[in-house]
Structure 1
Amino acid sequence: MNRVTCPFDPAHVVEARKLQAHLIKCKRNLPTNHDFVQCDFWHLHYVRKSQLDSHVANCEHRLEKEAFKITWESEASKFSQPKLLPVEVCEPSEIEDQESWESTSGPA
């Protein structure tokens, strides 16, 4: 069982799989003037404003996102926009000549 410490209260130790639910409840109990901010790269990372620059520089999820972005940009040429095909336009007289579902009477 993997246990992690709550970023809001170090006395709170919860299972990693329950951290998100715990953060929602624990964040409600913070004073309105708290100085915690959420990481831009991972929704479960909360740090103090004064530590944000250091956290962003070392955030493991930032490195993953940057690696994904580099991979995506290098392989972007493999993915292209679909080609739009022109729609065939029928003359009104052609439409009248075609069989209509309403005019058919079903099986004989």
Structure 2
Amino acid sequence: MLGNFIKSGDFKGEKHVPVIVAPEKVKANEWFEVEVSVGKEIPHPNTIEHHIAWIDLYAIPEGANFIQHIGRFEFVPELSEPFVKTKIKLEKSCRLIALSYCNIHGLWENDLEISVE
């Protein structure tokens, strides 16, 4: 049911889509940086009336029947931008999923496949 309310799109044409920047290939159990932002190509408003409230980052490991919640990053309108850089490590290949919440336009998602060697 929640999936019915999550929107997606091309971040170059839609300012709400979270953008994930990370290496396509990483080594097992070694830390690497992941950057997630909203408004990379088209700036998103950052006012009290219209802003990105938070970004969640998830991983779905290859062959897993569950999702791992990596973290939630909350933003204060006018004082912080919807941008986060964090370090993670993976045991096996997975799909990273970023979910962002706009206080007016709801939930937006994007994903990125990461191969683990």
Which bracket does the TM-score occupy, shorter chain normalised? under 0.3
Higher helix proportion (structure 1 or 2) = 1
Task: Specify which structure has the bigger relative contact order, considering alpha-carbon pairs within 8 angstroms and separated by 6 or more residues.
Answer: 2
TM-score, with normalisation over the residues of structure 1?
0.22
The structure whose Rg is larger is 1
